[in-house]
Structure 1
Amino acid sequence: MAKAVKKQALGRGLSALLKDPENDIKSVSDKNADKVVGNIVELELSAIEMNPFQPRSNFNDDALQELATSIRELGVIQPITVRKLDFNKYQLVSGERRFRASKLIGLETVPAYIRIANDQESLEMALVENIQRQDLDPIEIALSYQRLIDEIQLTQEKLSDRVGKKRSTITNYLRLLRLDPIIQTGIRDGFVSMGHGRTLVNVDKREDQIALYEKIVGQNLSVRDTEKAVKAYQEALENPDKQVKKASKTPDFIKKDAPRFSDYLSVKVDVKASEKGNGKITIPFSSEEEFQRIKKLITGE
């Protein structure tokens, strides 16, 4: 407990140092810079502005409220990171959820690490720090990778070294940005997984991506089922005549009467038949109760 009190007092002492115009620190070579840069300092929330380079755009209100409750009880356990802009003026680099939660409960100060960084360094620190978080969705990660490539001029290979991820992993994330925005939103909202998205990337036309996406959501298709659907789509593009010929093989009596099985049994019955009239009927069931119900309808027992 004595150690924690000493640490807090040190933070307040450094805070006073930062408010002295004669000790305005602008670079790591300035007097007293070694006492501030890299140390934990209690900063006023009003002196900190939001980070325009923040890659995260979704903040769950319930999770933020839970964090605020935790901070009210235990304090800010992990300091935020800021960079110095001007005299007693700072910009958030990382820790926006902690910053927001602290404001939510009316705190006046927050523990912070102070960095001296230019815009590019601040962007890189914010992006790399956020990429390491476990709660970012795949699209947020992909957008962060793309910003590092575009704005800091990193190759995928250098980016791989910088964030500690395999180049193939980075490529898979970046490919998600080729999906229609509706599907990207679906991934962010959890309607489909990254695995679904990686499969849909192989469909070039946006309207076909959307059609398959709606099928995935509507029929609750697994990633494996989605792979099969995309494969069938690609085969249909490569061999359109074969698909037409295949469709014409179903006898008329099957087309006419097969739906009656599904209607009568209240399950989707699969009926397949050749031109010669031979085939099979597949009746699915999901439980013993449903099996008994179907059996009773068919046998009367």
Structure 2
Amino acid sequence: MAKATKKQALGRGLSALLKDPQNDIQSAEDKNADKLVGHIVELELEAIEVNPFQPRTSFNEDALKELASSINELGVIQPITVRKLDFNKYQLVSGERRFRASKIVGLKTIPAYIRIANDQESLEMALVENIQRQDLDPIEISLSYQRLIDEINLTQEQLSERVGKKRSTIANYLRLLKLDPIIQTGIRDGFLSMGHGRALINIEDPQQQLDIYEKILQKSLSVRETEQLVREINTGSQEKKGNKASTTVPKTYKKGIKEFSEYLGTKVDVKLTKKGSGKLSIPFKSEEDFNRIKKLIQGEE
């Protein structure tokens, strides 16, 4: 615990400044604000409330305990970020895992950067900070992107610039939100990868998505195997659609088809579209048979 206490000896002078009601800093123009902005300040954990805009909803307890053990040994190496709400009252913007782990250890204070921001700026900071984390699942990232678009009114292009990601990457994440909620949960729980999810998006029918999801789990299908399965299903669906698109051959054609077949000595097939156009199919058994049919059509026999 001694190491943690030594590590957190930073920012004590600034902490005292913040506790003086006569020096209550509310904006960047206030007296002594320059001493605060960009500096690490020791804040009491009790003075900090959790950010209601935090996109992250679940925290791995074992990982928190490991972080708490590290903080107990080395202290909080990376300061959290908070925004000032009122006198000696702050709201967490980023660093909730560090904040929670510090409470587990029993620390009274934590190093922090203080920002003055309105609710919308706080939401944006929290979301952008959250997206940069390495341990988020694809659905958490997708939801954060969607919230930035909806609540900060950003386009995908603007979002791309804010988070430093390609627009195509953002689009791929957002498409995951079109998956059935059960499949989204499967991705969050680690049963499926983002690659599996991207393959399943190409299946329009939600029930069919779930059927494939079950096969992935039962047979431990890889992403490539899933992509192949999706291709086969889509190809079959397209063939069925193509067959449905062709209309029943009217009686007026049937007599002509019969005459064609008898004249050419092979079964002739006709496919019609709803618009009235069609295709005449004449099968042959060999090159010799092909030449025989050719001569009949050309009137050489």
Q: Where on the TM-score scale, by shorter chain, does this alignment land: which range?
A: 0.7 to 0.9
The TM-score, its normalising length taken from structure 1, stands at: 0.77
Q: What RMSD over aligned residues (CA atoms) do the two structures have, in Å?
A: 1.9
Q: Post-superposition shift, 1:119?
A: 0.7
* SS of 2:67 mapped into structure 1: helix
1:141 equivalent to 2:141? Answer yes
Q: Counterpart of 1:52?
A: 52
Tell me the distance in 1 between the aligned counterparts of 2:43 and 2:9: 13
Map 1:51-70 → 2, pairs under 5 A = 51-70=51-70
Q: Against the structure 1 CA distance between its residues 107 and 228, is the aligned structure 2 distance closer, same or farther, given a 3 Å change threshold?
A: same
Q: Distance in 2 between matches of 1:239 and 1:67?
A: 55
Residue 221 of structure 1 is matched in structure 2 by: 221
2:111 is aligned to 111
The 5-angstrom pairing of residues 138-287 of structure 1 reads: 138-240=138-240
Tell me the secondary structure at the aligned position of residue 207 of structure 2.
Answer: helix
Give the secondary-structure state (helix, strand or coil) at the position aligned to 1:239: helix
Q: Is the 8 A contact 2:8 2:110 kept in 1?
A: no
C-alpha separation in 2, matches of 1:187 and 1:8: 38
Give, in whole Å, the separation in 2 of the partners of 1:63 and 1:9: 26
| Separation in structure 1 between the aligned mates of residue 7 and residue 136 of structure 2, nearest angstrom | 32
Number of paired residues? 240
Structure 2 unaligned regions, length at least 5: 244-301
Match of residue 252 from structure 2: none
Name 2:130's counterpart in structure 1: 130
Q: 1:21 to 1:206 in 2, by over 3 A?
A: same
Contact 2:8–2:76 (CA under 8 A) maintained in structure 1: no
Q: Is 1:37–2:37 an aligned residue pair? A: yes
Match of 2:85 in 1: 85
* TM-superposition CA deviations, 1:199-221 (whole Å, max 9, x none): 10111121111001001111111
Q: Distance in 2 between matches of 1:242 and 1:80?
A: 59
Q: Report the Cα distance in structure 2 between the residues aligned to 1:232 and 1:106, rounded to whole angstroms.
A: 57
**Seq. identity, %:** 76
Counterpart Cα distance in 2 of 1:61 and 1:164: 30
Maintained 8 Å contact 2:53/2:123:
yes
Aligned-pair distance for 1:57?
Answer: 1.4
Asked whether the 8 Å contact 1:179–1:206 carries over to 2, the reply is yes
Q: Is the 8 A contact 1:142 1:173 kept in 2?
A: yes
The answer (yes or no) to whether the contact 1:37–1:116 under 8 Å persists in 2 is no
Cα offset, 1:42, TM superposition: 0.5
Instruction: Give the 3-state SS of the residue equivalent to 1:153 in structure 2.
Output: coil
What is the distance in 1 between the residues matched to 2:171 and 2:104?
A: 38
The aligned residue for residue 293 of structure 2 is none
Q: TM-score, normalised by structure 2?
A: 0.77
